[in-house]
């Protein structure tokens, strides 16, 4: 074992083409590279060029491998990530991604890799690695509760009759043997029904991708920590029947690109002029785009709340998105004394770290959650897609966040008039006595997320496992 631990590994990482996936993969890659192991981070040229620059001490250990994205019909030129295209075009992006199987195989053949870490979309990568004598890990950036909820392979394959209707996803499944509210609301399910259908241009459902990814790997590596969600790790152990290794919450301790200093200088200047804890930061990540109805509700809510705000609003998903969001007439003029609507990239980590920010209205994407906890900002939750509803249930259960009230069936906002739900939720979490529990709880859980010794132990334990079992594979 001692000799195994002396061996330096070569790990290939192949994330899905979404920045909500690329960034957590890069964070793990950096932590592995810091231990002196070689990491090849494989993606498309434009995505790699848009990633944060590497610290100089990691350049010799972490290399970027650019595989040109194959052209497919209906996928716009230079569209290489989900952020570049409207939601209904993502199926063509998956089709192009699947066409990377051959170039990835060619790279692996000459790479002398010990392990391949692949994402859910690359359902074929585990089989490719196995044929080449390389160990593989399905690396899930989705949390243990989300993966536990979607379930074992028999359910993902449709062989099990438990989930024949959308309503069956609104309750905790039978393999979760403890009380839990972690489930989807009906309106959240209806938004993502296409992910369970094979009737899309890639020819493969997301459920099939998850099933094959889980079945064809040697181990499952997952973002999360056992101290925060021990019961969900037990669920995964039970349903996967193979090693499940946590890698911690992957807190980003480095600020975004320092190149965009003019942006931060302006934003900081504005925040510096606001009272401590008076600003709600509103942002929904690189993937989620609100509907026009949701934008109107948020805008009216921010106006009614009388709370200062900094709102990062993506008006469209890429240059080919025909649906450009609009704000209510006169909104910016009426709120200009206390609010900003920012329509381009913003330095989220820096903003959340500013003392003027007292709350975060978020989509519940886990990277944003981690950054909020890191900076002790209580959460107001407004979900849109994918696993966000499951993340929100976890945060509600643990009193780390409060969801904007919505009708469970159709997602319509409650309240007597437009904006009431958002306005009431923001004030509750940020200022009212009833919301104090959210402000306190976010501070109490911080150590579970940002403890550097714990994070270091997760990486050391992972590498020890990879060294020992990787060598056995080639023995």
Query: Distance (Å, rounded) from C-alpha 71 to C-alpha 79?
Result: 10
pLDDT value of position 474: 40
Using CA atoms, how far residue 127 sits from 214, 215, 355, 408, in Å, is 11, 10, 49, 40
C-alpha distances in Å from residue 365, one per residue of 19, 225, 244, 392, 405: 11, 17, 22, 9, 18
For all residues of the chain together, what is the average pLDDT?
Answer: 91
pLDDT of residue 3 exceeding 60, the answer is no
Q: At residue 97, does pLDDT exceed 70?
A: yes
Q: Is the pLDDT of residue 417 over 80?
A: no
Estimate to the nearest angstrom the gap between the alpha carbon of 392 and the chain centroid: 13
Confidence of residue 167 (pLDDT cuts 50, 70, 90): confident
What SS3 class is residue 106? helix
Position 31 scores a pLDDT of: 96
Structure-derived torsion over alpha carbons of residues 436, 145, 381, 400, reported in degrees to the nearest 10: 10
Residues 6+ apart with CB under 8 A from 394: 143, 145, 182, 229
Mean pLDDT of 180-190: 90
Cβ pair 423, 302 in contact under 8 A: yes
Q: Is 359 helix (H, G, I), strand (E, B) or coil?
A: strand
3-state secondary structure of 55: coil
Start and end residues for every CATH 3.40.50.2000 domain found in the chain: 2-250+451-474, 261-444
| DSSP single-letter state for residue 219 | E
Which residues does 129 contact at the CB level (< 8 Å), separation at least 6? 108, 116, 118, 135, 136
Each residue's pLDDT tens digit, 214-261: 999 999 999 999 999 999 999 999 999 999 999 999 988 765 445 457
* End-to-end Cα, the chain, rounded Å: 13
For 367-406, write each residue's pLDDT tens digit. 999 999 999 999 999 998 878 999 999 999 999 999 999 9
The pLDDT, as a whole number, for residue 4 is: 45
Question: Which is more confidently placed, 308 or 170?
Answer: 308
Of residues 105 and 160, which shows the higher confidence score? Answer: 105
As a whole number of angstroms, the distance between CA 273 and CA 294 comes to 29
pLDDT at site 45: 98
Q: Region 190-203: what's the mean pLDDT?
A: 71
pLDDT at 419: 82
Q: Write down the residue that tokens 């024949």 correspond to.
A: 164
DSSP letters, 386-402, are TTHHHHHHHHHHTTSEE
pLDDT digits (tens, 9 = 90+) for 65-74: 999 999 999 9
Is residue 85 pLDDT above 80, yes or no?
yes
* Domain 2-250+451-474 is found in CATH 3.30.9.10: no
Give the CA radius of gyration of the chain: 22
Assigned fold of 261-444: Rossmann fold (3.40.50)
Helices and strands in the chain: count of H runs, count of E runs: 21, 13
Dump pLDDT digits (tens) for 294-353: 999 999 999 999 999 999 999 888 888 888 999 999 999 999 999 999 998 899 999 999
pLDDT surpasses 90 at 270: yes
Q: What is the pLDDT of residue 195?
A: 62
pLDDT at 199: 65
Q: Which runs of consecutive H residues, i.e. helices, occur in 7-156?
A: 19-34, 45-50, 90-98, 101-109, 125-131, 144-150, 153-156
Q: Is 186 buried (19+), middle (13-18) or exposed (0-12) by CB count in 10 A?
A: middle
**Which region among 1-5, 40-44, 102-106, 127-131 has the lowest average model confidence (pLDDT)?**
1-5
pLDDT reported for residue 102:
97
Average pLDDT of span 12-28: 96
pLDDT value, residue 449: 93
Q: 23 or 317: which carries more pLDDT confidence?
A: 23
For position 194, what pLDDT does the model report? 63
The stretch 121-129 carries a mean pLDDT of 97
- The continuous run of DSSP H or E covering 362 comes out as strand 357-362
Query: Rounded CA gap, 248 and 459, in Å?
Result: 8
Is the confidence at residue 163, as pLDDT, over 80? no
- How many other CB atoms are there within 10 angstroms of residue 51's CB atom? 16
DSSP assignment of 141-177: -S-HHHHHHH--HHHHTT-SGGGSSGGGGGS--TT--
């Amino acid at each position: 074992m001692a000799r195994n631990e002396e061996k330096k590994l070569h790990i290939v990482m192949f994330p899905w083409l979404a920045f909500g996936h690329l960034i957590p993969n890069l964070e793990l890659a950096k932590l592995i590279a810091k231990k002196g192991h070689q990491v090849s981070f494989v993606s498309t040229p434009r995505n790699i060029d848009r990633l944060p620059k590497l610290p100089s001490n990691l350049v010799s250990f972490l290399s970027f491998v650019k595989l040109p994205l194959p052209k497919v019909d209906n996928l716009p030129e230079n569209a290489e990530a989900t952020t570049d295209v409207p939601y209904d075009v993502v199926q063509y992006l998956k089709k192009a991604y699947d066409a990377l199987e051959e170039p990835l195989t060619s790279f692996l053949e000459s790479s002398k890799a010990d392990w391949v870490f692949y994402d859910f979309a690359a359902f074929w990568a585990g089989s490719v690695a196995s044929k080449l004598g390389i160990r593989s890990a399905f690396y899930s950036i989705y949390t243990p509760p989300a993966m536990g909820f979607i379930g074992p392979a028999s359910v993902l394959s449709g062989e099990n009759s438990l989930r024949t209707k959308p309503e069956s996803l609104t309750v905790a499944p039978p393999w979760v043997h403890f009380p839990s509210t972690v489930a989807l609301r009906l309106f959240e399910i209806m938004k993502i029904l296409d992910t369970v259908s094979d009737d899309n241009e890639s020819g493969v459902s997301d459920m099939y991708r998850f099933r094959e990814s889980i079945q064809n790997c040697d181990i499952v590596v997952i973002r999360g920590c056992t101290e925060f969600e021990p019961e969900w790790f037990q669920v995964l152990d039970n349903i996967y029947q193979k090693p499940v290794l946590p890698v911690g919450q992957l807190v980003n301790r480095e600020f975004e690109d320092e190149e965009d200093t003019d942006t931060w200088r302006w934003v900081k200047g504005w925040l510096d002029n606001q009272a401590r804890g008076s600003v709600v930061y509103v942002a929904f990540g690189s993937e989620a785009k609100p509907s026009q109805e949701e934008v109107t509700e948020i805008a009216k809510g921010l106006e009614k709340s009388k709370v200062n705000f900094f709102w990062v609003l993506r008006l469209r998903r890429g240059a080919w998105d025909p649906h450009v969001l609009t704000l209510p007439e006169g909104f910016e003029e009426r709120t200009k004394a206390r609010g900003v609507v920012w329509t381009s990239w913003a330095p989220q980590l820096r903003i959340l770290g500013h003392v003027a920010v007292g709350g975060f209205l978020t989509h519940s994407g886990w990277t944003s959650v981690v950054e909020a906890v890191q900076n002790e900002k209580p959460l107001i939750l407004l979900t849109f897609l994918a696993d966000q509803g499951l993340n929100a249930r976890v945060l509600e259960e643990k009193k780390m966040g409060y969801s904007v009230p919505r009708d469970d069936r159709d997602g319509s906002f409650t309240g007597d008039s437009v904006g009431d739900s958002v306005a009431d939720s923001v004030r509750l979490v940020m200022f009212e006595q009833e919301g104090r529990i959210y402000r306190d709880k976010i501070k109490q859980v911080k150590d579970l997320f940002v403890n550097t010794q714990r994070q270091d132990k997760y990486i050391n334990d992972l590498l020890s496992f990879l060294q020992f079992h990787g060598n056995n594979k080639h023995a």
